[in-house]
Structure 1
Amino acid sequence: MDRLQAMQVFTKIVEMNSFSRAADSLNLPHASTTTIIKNLEAHLRVRLMQRTTRRLNLTPEGAEYYERCTRILAEIDETEDALSNTGKGPRGKLRIDMPGSVGRLVVMPRLPEFRERYPDIELMVGFGDKPVDLVQEGVDCAIRVGELEDSSLVARRLGVLQTLTAASPAYIEQYGEPTSLDNLRQHHAVQYFSNGTGRMNEMSFVIDKETTSVKMRGTLAVNDGDAYVMCGVQGAGIIQSPRFMLLPHLRSGALVEVLPQWKPAPMPIAAVYPHNRHLAPKVRVFVEWIAMLFESCPLMSSVVDQEGRCVIADAQYGLAPYTNAHAVDATVEAFA
């Protein structure tokens, strides 16, 4: 049995959900695809798919085998492309994953530039705050926020996300503005809980280079970054979030930064990918592009004014406090 051909036939059948269409695509007799899959299942000693009158359903073993086959076949294609000296540049399907807020506000506005530069790369972009298993789910590259736990991945540091503490004017009018960390404990917070562990994230601040956590009361918890910010805008409680997510609401006055003299610890952000993907041209050019994108992003600036409140630094427009709507508009427009 030609195992490479069997992998190609199997993945094509899954992608086209049809034995006959897969056979036509691969220029094989229709009967050959059925024979190849039967021989493959006999060789592996597992059932890969269940057939019904309308569609094909993968077994758990079939789903795992499909993910592995797609990675193996992609690596073969990329190796051949790299050695063929065709001069056509990176190509193939590139699956990436990132937090929704990072994708929506930072990456997607500039993604047309990447597509124009590398037209032969087919992008699959996934969004979500829950980290995915890159190897098991066939993801080529992911953007991760926070400290990395998986040491089996290669990481390229992209920068840090400055974090602010904020509340809505309605909340401040009702409960007052916190003036100290001790006073903060008397206030209400919107809680953010981890998708993976269900654990509530406490608010934290850096004081004399030490991180101090503050446990606050709260009757509302969410596990999505955008929903978390909107809860703060609606006056449900005090929030801590990356500045680039808060900026439009700070600019409009829907949120106000509180306790600007005590900043939360910045969160590292990195591009990560499996070790077996580090030589793939499509992965390499995407990581280089995303690194330059974050380096040039004014929303990642850490400049503060005399009161300790964050401002956006941009070489063309100078320093613009986020309370200055015109300057912020110009800076955001330059980035977008």
Structure 2
Amino acid sequence: MEVFIQVVDAGGFSRAAENMQLPKATVSTLIQQLETALSVKLLHRTTRQVTVTADGAAYYERCLQILTDVKEAEESLSRTRLSPSGRLRVDTPTGLSSEILVPALPAFFERYPDIQLELGCSDRPVDLIEEGVDCAVRGGHLVDSTLIARRIGVLNFLTCAAPAYLEKYGTPQHPRDLARHRCVNYFSAKTGKIYDWDFNRDGERIEVPMPGVIALNDSNAYVQAGLAGLGVIQMTDYLLHKHVGEGRMVQVLPDWSTDPLPVHIVYPQNRHLSAKVRVFVEWVAELFDSHPAMRIRPPAHASATAAPTLMMETA
């Protein structure tokens, strides 16, 4: 049943075998044995794709419930809740990983020594189901999806430039002054769209595209572009505050604020939330709640919520 669910979710035998760390031949044999035992064809196979039959779709839903019940029964009779173990696959944005998550991981492993963490670090949103990821940390607004999302913090932004750049081009005094400056833009790794910049002050709101000679889709590379003096940048506080504190970057337009963006941890809604996923979700929420750069700052446009809700996948 577990193999069948993985094949349906992944849309093929190869990806399912990779996710389960099994030989492809083993996965194929198990599905054939299952179909023989049930006397029902569960999957349509072609050279290009694998799709589920009508009987297979009905069986898939029953398998999900059965395996959830089995997992809950096992956990209720074991020490798994107290000492979760096993492989945990998590996907996180590059900057959040390098600056916040990875430095805090020694404390996580001290608390949960039996978990083997596989941490994917990318600003490209992954497909959790297809790629076999247990949960992911997502920054930004969420769009339609079948994921459960728990809000765990916000991203606050600073507008900065390197001292050498400001010495050469001057310091902007108003967001409209940026039209005469070089700006480093950021584009979506998923859609290719370049993000506009926004500014707020005393009820006045300005949201405009910025002129630039370079655009990047990796947060760490984006900060490096600013440090190299390629232009004015607008990036998250947690990536810039140390550079500002050490004088490598200078905050500009400090009397203008930028809309904070929510941070969620998301996981598939059709999955039993295992002990290892549950403790990681709680640990990340606790970590972000204690991090000064991740808190909502006044004036706040929305308050964080601890309750999980059915939300949407990041664009």
- Tell me which amino acid in the other structure corresponds to 2:150: R
Cα distance between partner residues in 2 of 1:269 and 1:256: 26
Match status 1:127 vs 2:116: no
Please name the residue that 1:318 is paired with. Answer: none
- Tell me which amino acid in the other structure corresponds to 1:15: Q
- Tell me which amino acid in the other structure corresponds to 1:178: P
Please name the residue that 1:329 is paired with. Answer: none
Aligned counterpart in structure 1 of residue 227 of structure 2, from 226, 230, 233:
233
8 A Cα contact 2:3 2:31, kept in partner: no
Match status 1:82 vs 2:75: yes
Match status 1:61 vs 2:50: yes
Deviations 1:107-139 (A, max 9, x none): 111112222222232222111111112222222
8 A Cα contact 2:43 2:50, kept in partner: no
Please name the residue that 1:266 is paired with. Answer: 260
Cα distance between partner residues in 1 of 2:186 and 2:236: 13
Residues 211/291 of structure 1: CA separation in 2 closer, same or farther (3 Å cut):
farther
Q: CA deviation at 1:302?
A: 6.4
Give the secondary-structure state (helix, strand or coil) at the position aligned to 1:276: coil
Please name the residue that 1:197 is paired with. Answer: 191
RMSD: 3.5
Cα distance between partner residues in 1 of 2:171 and 2:207: 19
8 A Cα contact 2:154 2:295, kept in partner: no
Structure 1: tracts of 5 or more residues without a match: 23-32, 51-58, 305-336
Match status 1:161 vs 2:155: yes
Q: CA deviation at 1:74?
A: 7.8
Which has the bigger relative contact order, CA under 8 A and spacing at least 6?
2
Cα distance between partner residues in 2 of 1:5 and 1:134: 17
TM-score normalised by L of structure 2: 0.75
Give the secondary-structure state (helix, strand or coil) at the position aligned to 1:236: coil
Cα distance between partner residues in 1 of 2:132 and 2:29: 27
- Tell me which amino acid in the other structure corresponds to 1:158: I
Please name the residue that 2:10 is paired with. Answer: none
How many aligned positions are there? 276
Q: CA deviation at 1:221?
A: 1.1
Give the secondary-structure state (helix, strand or coil) at the position aligned to 1:191: strand
Q: CA deviation at 1:256?
A: 0.5
Match status 1:178 vs 2:167: no
Q: CA deviation at 1:144?
A: 0.8
Cα distance between partner residues in 2 of 1:106 and 1:213: 29
Residues 281/45 of structure 1: CA separation in 2 closer, same or farther (3 Å cut):
closer
Cα distance between partner residues in 2 of 1:191 and 1:78: 47
Cα distance between partner residues in 2 of 1:135 and 1:168: 41
Residues 240/47 of structure 1: CA separation in 2 closer, same or farther (3 Å cut):
same
Residues 282/185 of structure 1: CA separation in 2 closer, same or farther (3 Å cut):
same
8 A Cα contact 1:277 1:283, kept in partner: no
Deviations 1:182-231 (A, max 9, x none): 21221111111111111111111123456421222111111111111111
Which of 1 and 2 has greater Rg?
Answer: 1
Residues 75/93 of structure 1: CA separation in 2 closer, same or farther (3 Å cut):
farther
Give the secondary-structure state (helix, strand or coil) at the position aligned to 2:256: coil
- Tell me which amino acid in the other structure corresponds to 1:229: V
Give the secondary-structure state (helix, strand or coil) at the position aligned to 1:289: helix
Residues 151/41 of structure 1: CA separation in 2 closer, same or farther (3 Å cut):
closer
Structure 2: tracts of 5 or more residues without a match: 7-12, 299-315
- Tell me which amino acid in the other structure corresponds to 1:99: P
Residues 212/7 of structure 1: CA separation in 2 closer, same or farther (3 Å cut):
closer
Q: CA deviation at 1:40?
A: 5.5
Mapping of residues 97-112 of structure 1, within 5 Å: 97-112=91-106
Cα distance between partner residues in 1 of 2:271 and 2:3: 23
Cα distance between partner residues in 2 of 1:16 and 1:280: 21
Please name the residue that 1:15 is paired with. Answer: 21
Give the secondary-structure state (helix, strand or coil) at the position aligned to 1:216: coil
Percent identical pairs in the alignment equals: 42
Q: CA deviation at 1:277?
A: 3.6
Match status 1:290 vs 2:284: yes
Q: CA deviation at 1:36?
A: 4.8
8 A Cα contact 1:190 1:221, kept in partner: yes
Aligned counterpart in structure 1 of residue 86 of structure 2, from 87, 92, 96:
92
Cα distance between partner residues in 1 of 2:17 and 2:224: 43
Please name the residue that 2:217 is paired with. Answer: 223
- Tell me which amino acid in the other structure corresponds to 1:61: V
